[in-house]
Amino acid sequence: QFYYVQQPEKRDRTRILKGVVIIATMLLGLALAHSPERKTAVFTFEGNGISYVDAAFLTNQLRNELSDLGAFSVVRFQHSGWCATDACRAEVGKFIGVQKIIGGSVSKVRNQFTVSAWILDVQTGQLTSVDDYEFKGTFEELRRSGLKSLAYRLAEMEPQKPAPLLSAARSIKKK
């Protein structure tokens, strides 16, 4: 059997084409609005008073927090400290195709952690941000909540506050 498909009239084709263009423009705008602005590598933080494994673990957690915020497009790159100058780091950044590099160190004295973080602009080779984040608590608490706070600071974003409690539920017994 043969089916004959009637061609749409010129007016209908123009309307369909305009609709496709409008939808494509909207989708492109949404994609650009939600795309991270900075392609960034996070170098493994140095450990002072903690092991290399713990420092690498915290670095991975920070990468995840930064990625979840959406302010950075985080590139996975393993760096083990062989490049210690800003100029060298900028060259590595250019080689791997990022605009920013985040790095630093994690220090521990008793139950006090200090995370020193910096952001390097690959194009200029200059540090654009240096931040010390002090945290008192356990390693697990630092991993769970401290790094999220640091990620917000590095992204220059305000932490989202939980929705206010509208009413407290109480059970009232009737006599």
Report the pLDDT averaged over residues 110-118: 91
Return d(Cα 152, Cα 93) in angstroms, integer.
22
* Residues 139/57, Cβ–Cβ less than 8 Å: no
The per-residue DSSP string of 60-111 comes to HHHHHHHHHHTSEEEEP----S---SHHHHHHHHHHHT-SEEEEEEEEEETT
User: Which structure tokens are listed for 146?
Assistant: 């401290």
- 12 has pLDDT over 90: no
Which residues does residue 136 pair with via DSSP β-bridges, in sequence order? Answer: 112
| pLDDT tens-place string over residues 139-157 | 888 888 888 888 888 888 8
- 41 has pLDDT over 50: yes
**Chain-wide mean pLDDT for the chain?**
77
Please tell me the predicted confidence (pLDDT) of residue 143: 86
| pLDDT tens-place string over residues 65-80 | 999 988 888 887 776 6
* Residues 56/44, Cβ–Cβ less than 8 Å: yes
Burial degree of 45 (CB within 10 A; 0-12, 13-18, 19+): buried
